[in-house]
Amino acid sequence: MPTALITGVTGQDGSYLAEHLLSLGYTVYGLVRGQANPKRPLIESMLPDVKLVEGDLLDQTSLINVVQQTQPDEVYNLGAISFVPLSWNQAELTAEITGLGVLRLLEAIRLVAGASPSRPQSERTIKFYQASSSEMFGKAREMPQTEQTPFYPRSPYGVAKVYGHHITVNYRESYGIFACSGILFNHESPRRGLEFVTRKISLGAARIKLGKQKELVMGNMDSKRDWGFAGDYVRAMHLMLQQPEPDDYVVSTGEAHSPWEFADLAFKVVGLNAKDHIRIDSQFIRPAEVDYLLGDPSKAREKLGWQPSVTFSELVQMMVESDLQQESKAS
């Protein structure tokens, strides 16, 4: 049975991917960092079958040791500083983790697997998946965005992800590593971090309905995002590494919606009107905005046979109902 190593296993995508790979019979290792990482007990109780190993995307030696120790067939790099506004406040750390962290992991794979361009495909032992992002398209040069669309990142996060994408492609071309870059558009779920717009709205709608919160204070509600369900998107990550050749793929739904549309549906689920409860405040407006992202998932559909299974309105409903249930239980 194959073995996988996941960085970012304590995050939304890490938990869905670990569940998916465990269901396929994989042995799954998850990288956790830091002393007394507060997310560790959560992942231990939620996914007891994931074997946790210690290491850090900032520490080259720790990554070499972990790859050596776990001998994975597949490495999924989901670890990153992933919240766009934070990347302006900690731009250098974002470059180190979200950007250079990819290089360190690729170096660990190269050193442990002994990758070289002359080795035949069948002997290239460790496959690599890089979590690239639609934020790389930023001020989008064309609509919809495909694997060929030029990048124009609009935040230190987007810039770091562009580096991660290019170094992944470069290590594939330089050393023959089976490395894929998945350009995933925004993907959400009840496990999404509370700082992201979808979860902030779903939780806010639930709490306002229950009388636990008075209003929801938001930033720019007119941007557009191509939002899908994270549980669908981790299937695409795995499929990329099962192809005969490594490649890059856009993963998206092909539909764009605004935070206002998300909020309208979310408040409708709890029988309220979004406009009555939302206040716009400049504290949530970003130094530079990504106005409109819309992905063209044709290649993923045709080559991977991948399709999303959850529609936009189903996603909103799933998130609000989950928050309503949790908030009803919590004091």
Residues that bind ligand GDP (CB under 6 A): 84, 135, 186, 195-198, 200, 218-221, 223, 225, 259, 284, 286, 289
Minimum CB–partner distance for residue 200 and ligand GDP (Å): 5
In our burial notation (b when 16+ CB lie closer than 10 A, e otherwise), range 94-132 reads bbbbbbbbbbbbbbbbbebbebeeeeeeeebbbbbbbbb
C-beta of 186 vs 202, nearer to ligand GDP: 186
What is the chain's alpha carbon radius of gyration, rounded to the nearest angstrom? 20
| Cα–chain center distance at 269 | 26
Question: Which residues are CB-contacts of 89 (< 8 A; sequence separation ≥ 6)?
Answer: none
Among residues 133, 134, 202, 252, the one annotated as catalytic is 133
Q: How far is the CB of 87 from ligand GDP (least distance, A)?
A: 10
In the residue annotation, 314 being an active-site residue is answered as no
The residue among 109 and 293 lying less far from ligand GDP, judged by its C-beta, is 293
CB of 319 to ligand GDP, least distance (A): 12
Q: In angstroms, how far is CA 125 from the centroid of its own chain?
A: 25
Question: Among residues 32 and 290, whose Cβ is nearest to ligand GDP?
Answer: 290
The one catalytic residue among 157, 171, 175, 292: 157
In angstroms, what is the minimal distance from the CB of 240 to ligand GDP? 21
Query: 74, 135, 188, 261: which one is catalytic?
Result: 135
- Integer CA distances (angstroms), 286 to 85, 151, 201, 220, 282, in order: 7, 19, 18, 8, 9
3-state secondary structure at position 256: coil
Of the pair 135, 296, the CB lying nearest ligand GDP is at: 135
Give the whole-angstrom CA distance, residue 30 versus residue 5.
6
Q: Please give the structure tokens belonging to residue 52.
A: 């946790």
- Told to judge if 133 belongs to the known catalytic residues of this protein, a careful annotator would answer yes
Residue pair 160/95 in contact (Cβ under 8 Å)? The answer is: yes
Nearer of residues 125 and 196 to ligand GDP, judged by Cβ: 196
CB of 246 to ligand GDP, least distance (A): 26
Which residues are known to be catalytic? 133, 135, 157
